[in-house]
Amino acid sequence: MSDNKEKTDGLVSLVIDGQPVQAKEDWTVLETARHNHIHIPTLCYHEAVQANGGCRLCVVEAKEGNWSKIVVSCLYPVKEGLQISTSTAKVNNVRRWILEMLLAECPASKEIRTLAEAYGVNSTRFKIDRPTEQCLLCGLCVRVCEEVVGVRAISFGSRGVNKQVATPYMVPNNACVACGSCVTVCPTGAMQARLNMVRGNVSERTGHGHAH
């Protein structure tokens, strides 16, 4: 415990967008930016669950010595002397590419459209397989259900273009406690429409007639 504790308590100094900041050595770049009120866009990130770098929108440019590269800030660990830029031309190009892919992945999502427009992306060159889809398959709902609620009522079902967040066998799952956490964290509102399928008729199951 003491070894770990000492490590966790160590501070490293880095620079984000020209601003010198300090971070605990087990923090990521995104955590450090948030701690210092520096905005980095995210969709699949929530501080309550493990980051998984799923949406890639939080890319930033990291410079160290003579090299620089694009990294996923929610997974990238801080390091002494690191220089981070959150919105260079390179970074914004990558984000525009990601947003184009997301426009094809979940074309019915108002949130994604608004975000894409903010980056000047109004259309996509990628193929749209599911025109009514709102879900970007970031898995935040799955992680919250498992890691925070401790239930695992939902998971990724099917593969490829049919991949979706669902209950086992696509039938209402009695394990769901209808807490609504998945709906709350969903960045696009996609889980709202899916919750009825997931939880089934709660009044029949509990005799309470509503979700709480």
Is residue 144 part of the contact set for ligand SF4 (CB under 6 A)?
Answer: yes
Q: Which of 77, 180 has the CB closer to ligand SF4?
A: 180
The closest alpha carbon to 67, from 81, 53, 56, belongs to: 81
Q: What is the per-residue DSSP string for 52-115?
A: ---S-TTEEEEEETTEEEEEETTTPBP-TT-EEESS-HHHHHHHHHHHHHHHHH-TT-HHHHHH
The distance of closest approach from Cβ of residue 12 to ligand SF4 in the complex, given in angstroms and rounded to an integer, is 35
Considering only residues 41, 54, 180, 200, which one is a binding residue for ligand SF4 as defined by CB under 6 A?
180
Considering only residues 106, 154, 186, 202, which one is a binding residue for ligand SF4 as defined by CB under 6 A?
154
**Distance (Å, rounded) from C-alpha 72 to C-alpha 86?**
11
Is residue 46 part of the contact set for ligand SF4 (CB under 6 A)?
Answer: no
Is residue 55 part of the contact set for ligand SF4 (CB under 6 A)?
Answer: no
Is residue 182 part of the contact set for ligand SF4 (CB under 6 A)?
Answer: yes
Q: Which of 74, 142 has the CB closer to ligand SF4?
A: 142
Q: In what order do the strands lie in the sheet with 67-72?
A: 19-24, 11-16, 83-85, 59-64, 67-72
End-to-end CA gap in the chain = 39
Q: Which stretch binds ligand SF4 (CB under 6 A): 41-49, 53-61, 123-131, 144-152?
A: 144-152
Q: Which of 122, 196 has the CB closer to ligand SF4?
A: 196
The helix or strand, by DSSP H or E, that contains position 7, with its residue range, turns out to be helix 2-9
Is residue 199 part of the contact set for ligand SF4 (CB under 6 A)?
Answer: yes
- Residue written as token pair 């709906």: 183
Contact positions vs ligand SF4 (CB under 6 A)? 144-145, 149, 151, 153-154, 176-182, 198-199
